[in-house]
Amino acid sequence: MRLSSKLSLAGALLFLAAHAAQATPMSWTDTVTFNPNVYVTQWTGFVYKQSLISDGYNPAVDSISSYSLSLDLVNGSGGFLALVVPGQLSNGFFDFNGTQYGGMSLQGNVSFSSTGVLTVGIISLLGNFYLASSTLTAWGNGIARTVPEPGVLALLVLGLMAIAIVRSRSKIRAVARV
């Protein structure tokens, strides 16, 4: 194997080593504060979106395995509300004491994971309340975004310079032979 081929291979391996990506467990959180609080009366609904994009979630490379949604309800007159998250097989029903019934579906999780945005709808089934805030926390795997060390970049530059020198010397020898 010629020296220039060896140097090219070494340079390529250093470049790949500097840009290796590893999936690591991560969590993302988004809090929406409603100002003023949203008043929801019996049989009325409210729809809003929560996005994890601003917290560093990248739908192209990250994936969500589970999530939780926390609602801050204030001044309620008691009763029940329905939480509607698209893609759920059964929607969640909550009382104002925080008891939850229901769960998430695979279809809803795949849709949320592919966009990083969750559309949430709430409906008061009985009673009135104010929605003060909503916190969405998701857990999954993300690609670690590391910055290459300066030493690795210096080795890459030295390798490229060596390739250029070897090539220029081989061209000079070829011209001298003719």
pLDDT tens for 38-59 read 998 888 889 999 999 999 899 8
The DSSP-derived string for the chain is --HHHHHHHHHHHHHHHHT---EEEEEEEEEEEEEEEEEE-BT-EEEEEEESGGGT--TTT-EEEEEEEEEEEES--S-EEEEE-TT-SS-EEEETT--EE----HHHHHHHHHHSEEEEEEEEEES-EEEEEEEEEEEEEEE--PPPPHHHHHHHHHHHHHHHHHHHHHHHHHHHH-
Q: Average per-residue pLDDT in the chain?
A: 75
**Mean pLDDT, range 73-97, rounded to an integer:** 61
Indicate whether 28 and 69 sit together in one domain. Answer: yes
Q: How does residue 173 score in pLDDT terms, banded at 50, 70 and 90?
A: confident
**Mean pLDDT, range 102-127, rounded to an integer:** 77
- Give me the CATH number covering residue 67: 2.60.120.220
- Indicate the number of domains in the chain: 2
Indicate whether 92 and 169 sit together in one domain. Answer: no
> What percent of the chain is predicted at pLDDT more than 70?
65
Indicate whether 77 and 13 sit together in one domain. Answer: no
Per-residue pLDDT tens over the stretch 127-171: 788 888 988 888 888 876 566 667 777 777 888 888 888 888 877
Indicate whether 60 and 9 sit together in one domain. Answer: no
Indicate whether 168 and 139 sit together in one domain. Answer: no
pTM (global) more than 0.85: no
Indicate whether 136 and 85 sit together in one domain. Answer: yes
Q: Which residue has the higher pLDDT, 4 or 19?
A: 4
Indicate whether 72 and 119 sit together in one domain. Answer: yes
Residue type, 83: L
Q: How does residue 74 score in pLDDT terms, banded at 50, 70 and 90?
A: confident
**Mean pLDDT, range 60-68, rounded to an integer:** 85
**Mean pLDDT, range 100-123, rounded to an integer:** 74
Closest to 146 measured CA to CA, from 7, 18, 2, 5: 18
Which domain does 171 fall in, by range? 3-19+148-177
Indicate whether 13 and 63 sit together in one domain. Answer: no
